[in-house]
């Protein structure tokens, strides 16, 4: 049986760990609220932009855009959004496994599948298992639209330069604190979004022309999708970390209870042994 000193030392260690996990849960909860606000603020713009693209695509002009057509589909680029920090449960492990599954399932379809990782954890896991073209680390904590726009423009330039023929985006979509859905989107070539048919089709006059609008809105839509996916991933990360730290705190409390019980039993055994020794010594003297 472990000594009283070692059990007491372990109880104090677990209590210290519980304080850390509780503090991390509170920090994650505060960051989650801010991340949710950003996600909700970005959604109306993304939805309205898609509605405009639906109207323009149906009226013609989308097929001839260089981002909407590609003769070959031999090389693919997969953008994987993870996090820069750990201690968030299976958040990073799940997205990395999904990336591995994508590569495994499409290895016969493409002659080359390369990765672009956003987040240090995904890069550290995937760099030894796949071809990583580039990694972006330490941008998610202070993410701005400008950073997402630069990544989107760089990705579009590579596509137009025939460095890859198709581009996919893999990220965790935020559903709730307890739920994050791994989502795979095809970014390039652009497939004109399909929306519900309208009963009334008014004749619209576009200024500038529909082709010029599409030339501006197609790249903009890719940047918006990338930015929105990164916001979703950030909110998912904080939700996963909050859940993981809450579970860790509860596990620490259970462990403290078990160790306390073990400590009391060990202490009782020591006291009983001492009493038996005293009684035996008294009897031997009296005898």
The DSSP code for 59 is T
Residue (of 78, 123, 116) closest to 99 by Cα position: 78
pLDDT tens-digit map of 24-61: 999 999 999 999 899 888 888 887 887 777 677 666 55
Is residue 192 predicted with pLDDT exceeding 80?
Answer: no
Contact call for residues 70 and 165 (beta carbons, < 8 A): yes
Residue (of 162, 168, 141) closest to 226 by Cα position: 168
Question: In the structure, what pLDDT confidence band is assigned to residue 199 with cuts at 50, 70 and 90?
Answer: very low
| 3-class DSSP assignment, residue 21 | helix
What's residue 200's pLDDT?
A: 43
Higher pLDDT, 211 or 201: 211
- The 10 Å Cβ neighbour count of residue 184 is 13
Token duo for residue 200: 């009334």
How much of the chain exceeds pLDDT 90, in percent? 54
Say which range, 201-215, 219-233, 259-273, has the weakest mean pLDDT: 201-215
Taking the C-alpha atoms of residue 190 and residue 60, their distance in angstroms, rounded to an integer, is 14
pLDDT tens-digit map of 229-283: 999 999 999 999 999 999 999 999 999 999 999 989 888 888 888 788 787 777 7
Contact call for residues 92 and 170 (beta carbons, < 8 A): no
> Where are the domains positioned within the chain?
4-24+244-282, 31-243
Q: In this structure, are strands 166-174 and 180-188 parallel, antiparallel, or unpaired?
A: antiparallel
Where are the alpha helices (H) located in the chain, listed in sequence order? 4-58, 91-106, 120-126, 145-160, 210-286
User: What are the backbone dihedrals phi and psi of residue 176, each rounded to the nearest 5 degrees, phi first?
Assistant: -160, 180
Is residue 16 predicted with pLDDT exceeding 50?
Answer: yes
Active site positions, annotated:
88
Q: What's the mean pLDDT in 76-86?
A: 94
How much of the chain exceeds pLDDT 70, in percent? 90
Contact call for residues 73 and 262 (beta carbons, < 8 A): no
Say which range, 56-65, 79-88, 97-106, 129-138, has the weakest mean pLDDT: 56-65
Mean pLDDT, the chain, rounded, equals 86
Q: What's the mean pLDDT in 98-102?
A: 95
Question: In the structure, what pLDDT confidence band is assigned to residue 213 with cuts at 50, 70 and 90?
Answer: confident
Question: In the structure, what pLDDT confidence band is assigned to residue 202 with cuts at 50, 70 and 90?
Answer: low
Higher pLDDT, 177 or 22: 22
pLDDT tens-digit map of 111-154: 999 999 999 999 999 998 899 999 999 999 888 999 999 999 99
What's residue 175's pLDDT?
A: 85
What's residue 193's pLDDT?
A: 54
Give the CATH fold of the 4-24+244-282 domain: Helix Hairpins (1.10.287)
Burial environment of residue 278 by CB neighbours within 10 A (0 to 12, 13 to 18, 19 or more): exposed
- Which superfamily does 31-243 belong to? ATP synthase, F1 complex, gamma subunit (3.40.1380.10)
Residue (of 232, 180, 178, 193) closest to 43 by Cα position: 232
């Amino acid at each position: 049986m472990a000594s009283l000193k070692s059990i007491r030392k372990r109880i104090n260690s677990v209590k210290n760990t519980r304080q850390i996990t509780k503090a991390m849960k509170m920090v994650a909860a505060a960051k989650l609220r801010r991340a949710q606000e950003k996600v909700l603020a970005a959604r109306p713009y993304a939805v309205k932009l898609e509605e405009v693209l639906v109207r323009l695509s149906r009226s013609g002009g989308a097929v001839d855009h260089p981002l909407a057509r590609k003769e070959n589909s031999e090389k693919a680029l997969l953008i994987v959004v993870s996090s820069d920090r750990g201690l968030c449960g299976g958040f990073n492990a799940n997205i990395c496994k999904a990336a591995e599954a994508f590569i495994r399932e499409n290895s016969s379809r493409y002659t080359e599948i390369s990765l672009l990782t956003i987040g240090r954890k995904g890069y550290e896991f995937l760099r030894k298992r796949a071809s990583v073209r580039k990694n972006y680390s330490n941008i998610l904590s202070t993410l701005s639209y400008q950073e997402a726009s630069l990544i989107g423009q760089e990705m579009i330039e590579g596509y137009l330069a025939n460095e890859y023929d198709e581009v996919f985006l893999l990220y965790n979509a935020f559903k709730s604190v307890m739920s994050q859905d791994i989502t795979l989107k095809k970014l390039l070539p652009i497939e004109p979004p399909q929306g519900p048919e309208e009963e009334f089709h008014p004749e619209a006059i576009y200024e500038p022309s529909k082709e010029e609008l599409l030339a501006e809105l197609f790249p903009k839509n890719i940047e918006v999708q990338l930015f929105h996916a990164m916001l979703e991933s950030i909110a998912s990360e904080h939700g996963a970390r909050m859940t993981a730290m809450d579970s860790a705190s509860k596990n620490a409390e259970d462990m403290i209870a078990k160790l306390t019980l073990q400590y009391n039993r060990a202490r009782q055994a020591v006291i009983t042994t001492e009493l038996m020794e005293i009684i035996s010594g008294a009897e031997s003297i009296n005898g």
